[in-house]
A = this chain, B = another copy of it.
Amino acid sequence: MGLTPRQEKIAEMVKTLGPITGEQIAERLNVTRAALRPDLAILVMSGMVEARPKVGYYYTGKNALSLFTEQISRIKVQDVQSVPVVVTVVTSAYDAVVTMFLEDVGSVFVVEPGGILAGVVSRKDALKVAMGGSDLHKMPVKVLMTPVPKIIVTSPDESVLMAAKKIIENEVDSLPVVSPVSQGGNKAQEVVGRLTKTNIARLFVELGEGRGGNTYS
């Protein structure tokens, strides 16, 4: 955050002695209350220190990154998602893998009529079966895919941060982005996008280069 030595000193003082009033800090530093104001304003602004009326200043432990945290939680899946690559449930496992190569994606989504999510096929699933010596030509994609109840999904208005946590915690490469629809009275999920680790890595690069602020906020 680039604090000055005096600001560091004040932060340390608030951390150790807080809650502490501005007058008490001024006294200890042997400066006037007015001289202290800009420094306190910056510490409060940075989120590191908070002011509570009639109590004084206390330490929050937050740093400059808190500002980023706030901004990042506003970026939604729909801001960074990719177009989904889908095959129908009647496809063969072989054709699903060919689609994967043609579109150069790590996973394809298997859909029923109306774009309703039925399953996901990943490179890992396909490689496992191919290594096992099975003939993918004769295998329906339904046998190869991970079926719906086991699939982790996200929605367009979920924060990318939450979706990224799902990807990490469930050790998957991508999440189908779905919208709820009613199908014959039952709840179903229409595939509307694809969120991958590549989307997240690209967002990381954009934010790291300071380009995220214009695009997403």
Report A's interface with B, CB cutoff 8 A: 1-2, 34, 37-39, 41-42, 45-46, 62-69, 71-73, 94, 97-98, 101, 104, 106, 123-124, 126-128, 130-131, 136, 161, 164-165, 167-168, 171, 173, 197-198, 200-205, 207-210, 212-213, 217
Contact = CB atoms under 8 A, between A and B. Distances in A.
Contacts of A98: 131
10 pairs of A and B residues whose beta carbons are closest in the complex? A130-B130, A197-B197, A68-B68, A38-B41, A65-B213, A161-B208, A69-B210, A63-B213, A72-B208, A200-B201
Given A42-B41, A71-B65, A127-B123, A204 B213 contact: no
Contact of A207 (B65, B94, B209): B65
A162 B138 CA distance: 44
Q: Oligomeric state, in number of copies? A: 2
A112 B94 CA distance: 35
24 contacts: A37-B38, A38-B41, A39-B41, A41-B42, A45-B46, A63-B213, A64-B71, A65-B68, A68-B68, A68-B210, A72-B207, A97-B131, A101-B128, A101-B131, A104-B171, A106-B124, A161-B204, A164-B205, A168-B201, A168-B202, A197-B197, A197-B200, A200-B200, A201-B201
